[in-house]
């Protein structure tokens, strides 16, 4: 494990720069080999990963595999496509450039920094790392201190498989993060909250370092009347309460058509019992809140509205039952910030135009969900709202499709990743134009006399 106490960060960065300068990471065969090693490292340590996630979040083994270890699919996808991605792309040239040829080369940026959050503490470090490796960079990883077991595991695992001059892990909290941010990196990939995102961007600006900010926000879930109710309640319950609601793209709140509200609430109640039993505290499949601080923040949000189901808490165990809350107003505290926990407020609407206006009056969310078979409504929501991504008739699943770029817009983030988007994020697209010596037309050279008419003809 490397901490800033044992080897100064600046020294590791220097070593990484030296390694990058050797050009080794530019070799596509090297990148593929490293991606294979990364996959191997994950497969050889599955049980350790499961245990670390259990210790940090009481994550069920099933969820550990489904949402963290299966990040290996991103590795497979990168290995499958990397030869295409790294090929120089031909670009068209206008007729006036008939003797030129144009190409776009994707080149690595150099030494990049990845700062991760605690909610999917393994996946959200490894998934961007896949992009950084595929694009040919050296990487610094800073996992979240709030998931200490996973952070510690990563700090132990990575050096067993990779030289720190290529991939290094630095453990620590805010201070470590800020010390890292004071250094010059060639790219910063940050996943976390919006307010810390601002701090990261400010620090990056000092070095003119480009950033990806994968942030959060309140992702609305609209439920129309034209649905299959049984499927709807299952998909919402799953997306909201997986990882005890600590998912950046969990449906934050429900906006439901007044006509179907009672049925939806009854369905959610029934499904929550089906998934987690009468006492979710004893369900092996239900996670815990990451820290006492986050528990207290969430407990405070429970002061609004009327519980339809849930509401039970246990501070010592950082347990909050899957909770659905009715009679919530837009002014309540729970509607002012991202919930990021297992509390689901229900707000009814009688006019979808008003519901859309309310969504649009707030910061742009990371995800937006619509349950409706009505094609016109689907079209309207897509046209009239803006969000990082949209999933129709489901929740959360869109982040599992590698061909879909994943990221926010406005307050929910800058940039995107997954699949090719990860490769592009960690690459510079270098435009290259090539002339030939066959001809040398004089129209652009001084003296300009008599040449303007030709130029004006180009205006069309
Ligand atoms: P956070 O912003 O508190 O912390 C993220 C990282 O930033 C950690 O590694 C932490 O050590 C570091 N950090 C914290 N304070 C810092 C500071 N002042 N200066 C520099 N670095 C600092 O976020 P979190 O609580 O770990 O995660 C929750 C947030 O992340 C939620 O808002 C959630 O929506 C968002 N999130 C987004 C995505 C996404 O893909 N867009 C995924 C997961 C989580």
* DSSP states of 425-447: HTEEEEEEEE--SS----TTSSP
Specify whether the CB–CB gap between 113 and 189 falls below 8 A.
Answer: yes
Å from CA of 74 to ligand 1 middle: 22
For ligand 1, what atom is nearest to the CA of residue 200? 20
Residue 191 CA to ligand 1 centre (angstroms): 5
Integer Cα distance of 344 and 323 in angstroms: 6
Same fold, 9-215+412-432 and 220-407: no
The pLDDT score that the predictor gives to residue 460 is 75
Q: Which CATH number fits domain 9-215+412-432: 3.40.720.10, 1.10.510.10, 3.40.30.10, 3.40.605.10?
A: 3.40.605.10
**What is the reported pLDDT for 96?**
86
Q: Look at ligand 1, atom 16, and give the residue with the nearest C-alpha.
A: 174
Q: What is the pLDDT of residues 224-276, one digit of tens each?
A: 999 999 999 999 999 999 999 999 999 999 999 999 999 999 999 999 999 99
Q: How far is the CA of 199 from the centre of ligand 1 (A)?
A: 11
Identify the DSSP state of 223.
E
Instruction: Tell me how far the alpha carbon of residue 448 lies from the centroid of ligand 1, in angstroms.
Output: 58
How far is Cα 366 from Cα 166, in angstroms, rounded to an integer? 32
Mutate which of 188, 192, 197 for ligand 1 pocket (most atoms within 8 A of beta carbon): 192
The predicted structure's pLDDT at residue 457? 87
Most ligand 1 atoms within 8 A of CB, residue of 180, 193, 341 to mutate = 193
- Nearest atom in ligand 1 to the alpha carbon of residue 199 is 19
User: Tell me, what's the pLDDT at 327?
Assistant: 95
For a ligand 1 pocket test, name from 56, 117, 389 the mutation site with the most ligand atoms within 8 angstroms of its C-beta.
117
- Which atom of ligand 1 is nearest to 290's Cα? 25
Q: What is the dihedral of CA 112, 117, 119, 124, to 10 degrees?
A: 0
Q: Cα(49) to centroid of ligand 1, in Å? A: 20
Residues involved in catalysis? 214, 248
From ligand 1's centre to the CA of 109, what distance in Å?
Answer: 24
- The domain made up of 220-407 has a fold known as Aldehyde Dehydrogenase; Chain A, domain 2 (3.40.309)
Which residues in the chain land under pLDDT 70? 1-7
User: Residues lining ligand 1, CB < 6 A?
Assistant: 115-119, 124, 142, 144-146, 173-174, 177-178, 181, 191-193, 196, 199, 214-216, 248, 338, 340, 366, 408, 413
- Rounded CA-CA distance 68/56 in Å is 13
Q: What is the pTM of this model?
A: 0.96
Cβ neighbours for 407, distance < 8 A, ≥ 6 positions apart: 212, 214, 388, 389, 413, 414, 415, 416, 417, 421
Nearest atom in ligand 1 to 366's CA: 41
**CA-proximal residue: ligand 1, atom 8 (nearest):** 144
Q: Where exactly are the structural domains of the chain? A: 9-215+412-432, 220-407
Order the strands of the 413-414 sheet from edge to edge. 167-169, 138-142, 111-115, 187-191, 211-214, 413-414
């Amino acid at each position: 494990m490397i901490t800033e106490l044992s080897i100064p960060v600046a020294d590791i960065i220097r070593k990484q720069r030296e390694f990058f300068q050797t050009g080794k990471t530019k070799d596509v065969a090297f990148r593929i080999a490293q991606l294979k090693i990364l996959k191997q490292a994950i497969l050889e340590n599955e049980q350790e990963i499961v245990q670390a996630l259990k210790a940090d979040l009481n994550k069920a083994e099933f969820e550990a595999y489904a949402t963290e270890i299966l990040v290996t699919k991103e590795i497979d996808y990168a290995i499958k496509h990397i030869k295409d991605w790294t090929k120089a792309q031909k670009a068209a040239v206008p007729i006036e450039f008939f003797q030129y040829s144009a190409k776009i080369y994707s080149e690595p940026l150099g030494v990049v920094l990845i700062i991760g959050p605690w909610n999917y503490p393994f996946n959200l470090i490894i998934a961007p790392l896949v992009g950084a490796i595929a694009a040919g960079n050296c990487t610094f990883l800073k996992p979240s201190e709030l998931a200490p077991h996973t952070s510690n595991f990563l700090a132990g695992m990575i050096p067993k498989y990779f030289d720190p001059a290529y991939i290094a892990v630095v453990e620590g909290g805010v201070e470590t993060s800020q010390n890292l941010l004071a250094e010059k990196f060639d790219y910063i990939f940050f996943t976390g909250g919006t307010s810390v995102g601002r701090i990261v961007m400010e620090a990056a600006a000092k070095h003119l370092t480009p950033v990806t900010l994968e942030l959060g926000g309140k992702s609305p879930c609209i439920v129309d009347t034209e649905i299959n109710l049984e499927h709807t309640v299952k998909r919402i319950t799953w997306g909201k309460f997986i990882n005890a609601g600590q998912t950046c793209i969990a449906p934050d709140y429900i906006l439901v058509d007044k006509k179907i509200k009672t049925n939806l609430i009854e369905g959610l109640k029934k499904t929550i019992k089906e998934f987690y039993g009468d006492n979710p505290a004893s369900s092996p499949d239900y996670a815990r809140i990451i820290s006492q601080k986050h528990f207290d923040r969430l407990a405070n949000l429970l002061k609004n509205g009327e519980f339809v189901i849930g509401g039970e808490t246990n501070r010592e165990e950082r347990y909050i039952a899957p909770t659905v809350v009715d009679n919530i107003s837009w002014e309540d505290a729970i509607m002012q910030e991202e919930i990021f926990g297992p509390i689901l407020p229900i707000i009814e609407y009688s006019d979808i135009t008003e519901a859309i206006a309310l969504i649009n009056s707030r910061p742009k969310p990371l995800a937006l969900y619509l349950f409706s078979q009505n094609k016109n409504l689907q079209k309207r929501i897509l046209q009239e709202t803006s969000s990082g991504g949209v999933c129709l008739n489901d929740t959360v699943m869109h982040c599992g499709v590698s061909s879909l770029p994943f990221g926010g817009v406005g307050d929910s983030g800058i940039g995107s990743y997954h699949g090719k988007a990860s490769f592009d994020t960690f690459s510079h697209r270098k435009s290259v134009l090539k002339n030939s010596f066959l001809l040398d037309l004089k129209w652009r050279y001084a003296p300009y006399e008599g040449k303007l008419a030709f130029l004006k003809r180009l205006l069309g």
